[in-house]
């Protein structure tokens, strides 16, 4: 269901790009914007993992420096049929986590110190399984493609505002102005909807990986509550990375559902509890 929703949203994003490209830049402007967006996002795709980990001061750990966490990630990665990712700890008291990397062979899972100290081992396992699900589902690639198209649309909008766009389009100059204003907003809304769909899917697959949906449900409930009262200063200074975390780490994130990078936590928890009730909770690796 979430895969179908993601496909339909990406198709809508592509259709939006083609329509906006014709109205604002014509064929030439559309191709220029796409090439530029592909180049910039391609660079980000290959280098974003190192950049984000450095941005958050993440420290890589191994079996000697963090034996419990390393063993947990190793066991869950094996459950998921994934290569062992690199494991990092972020020095933040706010419980949270994220995954990065361009593919399963070049992936990393990062958890905060607060996650390790404030949640039970079972809850941490649920969170790690969720992040491994993002890696398994190749969500980094999905969001990079989405960002490429959204970036190209924003470029076309800027082009239209500064240079007048393609005035020979059926809507004339009024159409150019309206599209230049509304297109980036529409692209952002679709991009956020795709992000929310990928979170739901990572919850479902993560529950399968760890075998206990209620572990992840309990973790989400705690992280949501604690994130509202504990600052993550690095995230506040880099809000563009907020979508990477399992729970939005920002205190000032939008409350309108359309503008959320994450689904409502209560809905995620309800789905996980329903999954557990349907027999989706098997024997966990430490059960």
Please indicate whether residue 156 or residue 253 has the higher confidence score (pLDDT).
156
Task: Reply yes or no on whether 131 is catalytic.
Answer: yes
Measure the CA–CA gap between 6 and 8, rounded to whole angstroms.
5
Residue 147: the pLDDT is 67
Q: What is the rounded average pLDDT of the residues 89-98?
A: 96
Catalytic residue among 74, 122, 123, 131: 131
CB-count burial class (<10 Å; 0-12, 13-18, 19+) for 62: exposed
Predicted TM-score of the model (pTM): 0.79
Q: How many CB atoms lie within 10 A of CB 252?
A: 8
Radius of gyration of the chain (CA): 20
Contact 144, 44 (CB under 8 A): yes
Contact 36, 192 (CB under 8 A): no
pLDDT of 124 > 80? The answer is yes
pLDDT of 109 > 80? The answer is yes
Q: What is the rounded average pLDDT of the residues 150-160?
A: 71
Residue 284: the pLDDT is 54
Q: What is the rounded average pLDDT of the residues 72-99?
A: 97
Buried b (16+ CB within 10 A) or exposed e, 131-158: bbbbbbbbbbebbbbbbbbbbbbbbbbe
Closest to 125 in 3D by CA, of 61, 69, 45, 54? 69
pLDDT averaged over every residue in the chain: 82
């Amino acid at each position: 269901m979430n895969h179908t929703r993601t496909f339909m949203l990406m198709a809508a994003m592509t259709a939006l790009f083609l329509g906006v490209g014709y109205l604002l830049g014509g064929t030439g402007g559309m191709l220029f914007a796409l090439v530029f967006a592909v180049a910039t996002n391609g660079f980000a795709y290959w280098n974003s993992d190192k950049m984000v980990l450095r941005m958050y001061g993440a420290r890589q750990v191994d079996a000697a420096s963090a034996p419990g966490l390393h063993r947990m990630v190793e066991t869950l990665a094996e459950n998921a049929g994934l290569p062992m990712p690199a494991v990092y700890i972020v020095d933040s008291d706010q419980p949270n986590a994220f995954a990065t990397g361009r593919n399963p062979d070049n992936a990393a899972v990062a958890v905060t110190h607060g996650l390790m100290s404030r949640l039970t081992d079972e809850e941490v396992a649920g969170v790690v399984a969720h992040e491994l699900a993002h890696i398994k589902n190749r969500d980094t690639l999905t969001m990079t493609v989405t960002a490429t198209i959204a970036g190209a649309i924003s470029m076309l909008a800027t082009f239209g505002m500064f240079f007048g766009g393609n005035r020979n389009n059926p809507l004339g100059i009024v159409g150019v102005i309206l599209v230049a204003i509304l297109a980036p907003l529409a692209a952002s809304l679709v991009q956020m909807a795709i992000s929310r769909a990928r979170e739901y899917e990572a919850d479902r697959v993560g529950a399968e990986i760890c075998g206990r949906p209620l572990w992840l449900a309990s973790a989400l409930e705690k992280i949501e509550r604690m994130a509202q009262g504990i600052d993550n200063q690095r995230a506040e200074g880099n809000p563009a990375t907020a979508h990477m975390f399992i729970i939005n780490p920002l205190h000032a994130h939008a409350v309108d559902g359309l503008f959320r990078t994450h689904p409502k936590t209560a809905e995620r928890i309800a789905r996980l509890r329903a999954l557990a009730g349907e027999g989706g909770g098997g024997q966990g690796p430490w059960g």
